Structure 1
Amino acid sequence: MLTAAFTSACSGSGPDPFTQNLTGRGPITYVEGKDTSETGMIRQLIERWNAAHPDEKVTFKEQSSDASQQYDDFAQHMKSKLSDYDVIVPDVPWTAEFAAKGWIQPLRDSFAVDTSALLPATVASATYRGVVYAVPGNTNGGLLFYRKDLVATAPKTWTELRTDCGIARAHGIGCYAGQFASYEGLTVNAAEVINTFGGSFVGPDGKTSTVNSPQARAGLQMLVDAYNNHDIPKEAISFKEAESQNAFAQGKLLFLRTWPNFYGVAQGDSSLVKGNVGVASLPGKDGVGASALGGHNPAISVYSKHKATALDFLRYLISADAQRIVADSATPPTRASLYDEPSLIARFPYLPALKDSIANAVPRPVTPFYPAVSKAIQDNAYAALTGAKSVDDAITGMQRGIEVAGA
């Protein structure tokens, strides 16, 4: 029985795409953003598959590195009901929207996929209204980078972190930064702190706003207080990933919230803090904080003519062999066991912290209206940080914006 989410998307004349081509086999096209890994991860995965499946080869269509252009490309093809994209790879926040719009095949019944070996939070990111719609091909979580020459152990809570800011002041450097410019990075940073304090943004239906709560206010207030008293330096209000990472690598920060791919840069020859970089889970209210999840979720287009092959390819992407290729490329894998392998930890010392981060992660708001929800979060968080709104007014603004998005 089709769920209402995709029954409505398929109403009208013509065959139901969800029941078409379920046994179709043959060559497929895999569509994802630009492969920026040093090892050519995506091509390695496809080459391994193609060597074993000469009659069901995969062709990689590489999109732009720009997320907005990737989204527009997917939307154009799905709206036109084109069959030339068999497996598409949306960013984690787009998965719910693509499912709600009826663009991707639900992975249940004969299309069910065994996700038991995967990190649960990554599976949750590929789930909408209780149904899995994609496989988590790779993931990502926020980490706390810190100067281990200045602090013996990383702070576990926000209170501990802010206490350590006295060390930063004593050394004439900034204390803590993340990504606080008004863009998607601020949605991530604000959501992490709000989630850490027990707040949330949308209900299980993906549209009911839940952000107007004491917990959400407490989280945003913590961030605003840290900015107002200079625990977060004033210049961080313009930081995106590049600016924040450069500040840490140049020795201007004690702590930095960013993604694990920064580790190689922080320990590189051009880094002024090389050899003095520690990595830990994000601080929380009482323990490990709630990271936002990154990553990509491969899914089957409902318009594919070779869905059986596409399904086998999805199962391959989360297999032990494929996930090792992911891990070897310095991209966070989704199979839990890889985070405990000594050989990988020797190469990527942040893996234990990243495992904890992902275990405590909260997906960005799971909603088919994500772009509008994200804008409501970042606009109001920015207004609170800059003093244009009080924390109460900012939370009220988020609530109103999310309600309008889902109306």
Structure 2
Amino acid sequence: MTTRRFVIIGGGLAAATAAETLRDEGYDGDVMVVGSERHLPYLRPPLSKDYLNDPAKEPAETYLHPWDWYHEHDVHVLTGTLAVELDLVDNQVILDETSSIDFEKALIATGAKPRPLKLPGGEASGVYYLRTLDDSEDLRDALREGGRKVVVLGTGWIGMETAAAARGYGNDVTVIGRAAVPLSGGIGPELGTIYGAIHRDRGVQFKLQREVRALRTSDAPGGPVVTGVETDNDGEVIPADIVIVGRGAVPNVEIAEDAGLDVKDGVLASAALVTSHPLVYAAGDVANPMNPTLDRRFRSEHWANAIGSGRAAAKSMLGQDVAYDDVPYFYSDQYDVGMEYAGYAPLAADTQPVFRGDVDGREFVAFWLVGGRLVAGMNVNVWDVSDDIQTLIRSGRTVDVGRLTDPNVPILEA
């Protein structure tokens, strides 16, 4: 008899959203979530934002649901449990030498991990990554003392948000990056320049178009401790008590790859989030599905994708007709500047944005258009417009740029 059990490998937001959706859609078989972390599934955006910035925040405040919810909905969550093998012959998830779980269908939602710093001194004490709730708590404890010399490696969103947090605690902050402009890889040089100025206004120093050669360390009773960062600028050494590594993430594809599933920059999946095996699905940061809008594969590491793809994967597992095409969305809070971005960064990459609002006053909306159609929008300290931006992107219709950039014209009427 076929086992009536769906097993979700991974304990993050995509996993929890999938489990919730399975119950909402009426699935009455067993639902098991296997997560390697000790925590219940939680929201990741606070880890580099309000949780990192507020020492009073407790871990449970980031949880998607409390323990009671999982009991009430008969969802069995195994925390602190690593799935070591996906057996596609006997349809089992192997936990260790003596434990396994049979499944009817499986969902891989193993997320991603920080790209490691493979340099001399990279393993020293004082070097921090930010991916998990425990990482955020450890970094918060280190930053909250203030008066420390903090060096951030990377000018992406994690780098910029942790730099803001470090300054908020009164630390000296230097950001080192390969790009000429912070955040230019994500939002282009025009918007990146604005964000660079926001940080410089708060006293952050930048060392751009630099490569890091090594981390300098000193010996201590517990092992090497970081003391500085050496760059390729004639061996310049930037003093550091704390080094934050924010150089992107790589998908956790190991269990899928070992099982023989197709893998390339994530677990390859259809628009219905089905992998190369018909009983296995993928969602969240680890999934690299076909995107119906782009007509190409598109892997996203943002929290909205974890929610949207987790929901879509669950429906697909239940046999519903699914073509996952949510408009990508994320947000960022740095100092007193908040923003929301919705759209397709790959399509916007080679276009110049147009603006509505007060750019100098940092209250504006930026729009990226291709062929007269909106492909991305970013609202900075302007609220209640992201849904309209997403609707306009979905419509695919040609817009009037003059009306789009006029603050007196509703976005949907452009």
Scaled to the shorter chain, the TM-score interval is under 0.3
Q: TM-score, normalised by structure 1?
A: 0.27
**Greater strand proportion:** 2
